[in-house]
Amino acid sequence: MNGLNIAGWFLDPQHEFVNKGNLVEAFVGQELIAYGQANTPQQTFYWHKETGPSNAEIDYLAQIAHQVVPIEVKAGSGSTLRSMRHFLETHPTSPYGIRFSAQNYSVHEAIHSYPLYAIASVVAQAESAMRAAILQLAQQ
């Protein structure tokens, strides 16, 4: 409907996502909601800081195993991740962050990077971690 080359999203994402950050961010939000728990109303949350000399923003916040995990969405390579690093430094109870982008899987410091096509897998892993945490609490 939007005249987009959807095949290019999978075949050449680095080129196709240039200047389409809002579209990619909305896509990730829709996927997070679509693959979330079916018996729970799904909502998305974000974080924004306006104090000090610079602003910071996290696209989405997720609850995984009773912890808040920041999620950043990058249409391109998104290598600096200043807001993500700031969030993790100022919220020590958040053990790691997640970045969705056109790049492959990787882990660097406390940031786990996943390709855009892996959103369903990440949500499934998060739900598995939540079930394990609930079982552990129930056994205590």
**CATH code of the domain covering residue 50:** 3.40.1350
Number of domains comprising the chain: 1
Taking residues 37-44, report their average pLDDT: 73
Question: Is residue 2 scored above 60 in pLDDT?
Answer: no
Q: In 10 A of CB 98, how many CB atoms?
A: 21
Q: What is the pLDDT of residues 105-119, one digit of tens each?
A: 999 989 999 988 888
DSSP 114: E
Taking residues 35-61, report their average pLDDT: 82
Q: Is residue 113 part of a domain?
A: yes
Task: Give the DSSP H/E element, type plus range, for residue 31.
Answer: helix 21-34
Which amino acid does the sequence have at 112? H
Q: Please indicate whether residue 65 or residue 81 has the higher confidence score (pLDDT).
A: 81
Q: Is residue 1 part of a domain?
A: no
Q: Are 28 and 59 in contact (CB under 8 A)?
A: yes
Q: Are 10 and 117 in contact (CB under 8 A)?
A: yes
pLDDT band at 94 (very low <50, low <70, confident <90, very high): very high
Q: What pLDDT, on a 0 to 100 scale, did the predictor assign at position 5?
A: 63
Q: Rounded CA gap, 123 and 57, in Å?
A: 21
Q: What pLDDT, on a 0 to 100 scale, did the predictor assign at position 77?
A: 64
